Copies of this chain bind each other. A is one copy, B any other.
Amino acid sequence: MTVYQATASAPVNIACIKYWGKRDTKLILPTNSSLSVTLDQDHLRSTTTSRADPSFTKDHLWLNGKEDEIKEGGRLATCIREMKRLRKEEVEDKNPNEPKISTYNVHICSHNNFPTAAGLASSASGFAALVSSLAYLYALPVGPSTLSLIARQGSGSACRSLFGGFVAWQMGSDPSGSDSLAVEVAPQSHWPDIHALICVVSDDKKGTSSTSGMQRTVETSLLLQHRIQNVVPQRMKDISKAILEKDFDTFARITMADSNQFHAVALDTEPPIFYMNDVSRAIIAVIVEYNRLSVEAGKGYKAAYTYDAGPNAVIYAPKENVKEIVELIAAYFPQKEGSFKDAFGLLSGGQLVGKFPAGFNENVAKRFEVGAVKNLIHTRVGDGPRKLGDEEALLNAEGLPRNLA
């Protein structure tokens, strides 16, 4: 008996031009285009195994070892249904010899290699891995942009995780959503020296979910429409050009300005939405001072912060600056000894010791306690979804999760 099964992994992406607002909440069509950097799956990834079998009585999904309900009409159900439809239309209808596995129920098992407690949104990598594993299972003859149309309906920003490198989500204009998809601006190989330092920030406060928050902004902010119509289109052009020209100074300027503006329209919402806290603000002050030093030396920006719908900072920087940045962050936000995973061998002996660059004005922020920044993750721009071998499958011979722990 043939086993129809495939495993894929997919990356996290962090936007430089932020997605905030839907014009269609069901189809997840955004009010503006957005652009992100795909992060390296070697460090952060979702892995998903999908299997189709005539013996399965219904569709099942396990996430991090726990079964998740697939609600009728919900986002998961939509993605699975759309993938089955593609299998039928693109494969089975065109070639009657192909097995009709689109009629089988599926078992899907997914795992994130980073803890939810890390405060990193896993929905983007999760839906991208789900769609990718089903695409391999169904042997679909379609490219990542087509798959991105489906991943988008799971979680908007998931569509950008279908590509590696630098990725634009074009908002499109068709009410059906057929042109609201991800495209590659440049692959990882074009500018592999873009690294990222994720500062996982502790927070007391339960944040507003991005799904409900962004619609409140759409309904109540008087500034959002101006951003959508008059700011984002030019920024999309300018940052794409900066990426193609490997112009980090412009890339950084736009990335920081757009992060600020996203949080500005969140604040202009009724009631206001705050995602950044005092630790986030202090990280901004540190990066602003770090860049000031460099700009005054005629060298342009050396780092760019960006914040999603939470207090964590992601700092993009050319590889050669990361050691200095890690040490600078550690000077304000001391880390538990041995907690920093030195993935790129920056530190001699692996010991992270706080340090200020020459001329740095240390008074731009106070020194925080251990734990204010819980964790520092050093990663870089990465590739798109990967097909994995059966030895990495998350389902056992019976099509059930290998390890429920």
Contacts and interface: CB of A to CB of B under 8 A. Distances in A.
A260 B268 contact: yes
B270 A267 contact: no
Interface string A225-238: 01100110000000
Interface in A209-248: 222-223, 226-227, 230-231
Nearest to A224: B223
A223 to B, nearest CB: 5
A227 B285 CA distance: 26
A272 interface: yes
A263 B231 CA distance: 19
A256 B270 CA distance: 9
Consensus secondary structure, chain A interface: helix
Contact of A277 (B261, B270, B278): B278
A330 to B, nearest CB: 19
22 contacts: A204-B278, A204-B366, A205-B365, A222-B226, A222-B231, A222-B257, A223-B261, A226-B226, A256-B270, A256-B271, A257-B268, A260-B267, A260-B268, A261-B267, A264-B264, A264-B265, A267-B267, A271-B288, A272-B284, A274-B281, A277-B278, A278-B278
B278 A267 contact: no
Interface of A: 204-206, 222-223, 226-227, 230-231, 253, 256-257, 260-261, 263-265, 267-272, 274, 277-278, 281-282, 284-285, 288, 363, 365-366
One complex includes copies of this chain to the number of 2
A6 B290 CA distance: 52
Contacts of A226: 222-223, 226, 230
Nearest to A259: B272
A301 B366 CA distance: 37
Nearest to A266: B264
Nearest to A287: B271
A237 to B, nearest CB: 15
Contact of A263 (B205, B267, B288): B267
Contacts of A265: 223, 264
A256 to B, nearest CB: 7
B272 A260 contact: yes
Contact of A268 (B264, B272, B281): B264
Sorted nearest first, the 6 A-B pairs with minimum C-beta distance are A226-B226, A264-B264, A264-B268, A271-B288, A264-B267, A260-B272
Contacts of A264: 223, 264-265, 267-268
Contacts of A205: 281-282, 285, 365-366
A174 to B, nearest CB: 28
A226 B260 CA distance: 17
Contacts of A260: 267-270, 272
A260 B257 CA distance: 18
A305 to B, nearest CB: 10
Contact of A222 (B222, B261, B263): B261
A33 to B, nearest CB: 16
A326 to B, nearest CB: 21
Nearest to A220: B257
A268 B226 CA distance: 13
A365 to B, nearest CB: 7
A338 to B, nearest CB: 29
A147 to B, nearest CB: 34
A274 B206 CA distance: 21
Contacts of A284: 271-272, 274
Contacts of A253: 270
A30 to B, nearest CB: 19
A365 B277 CA distance: 13
A365 B363 CA distance: 29
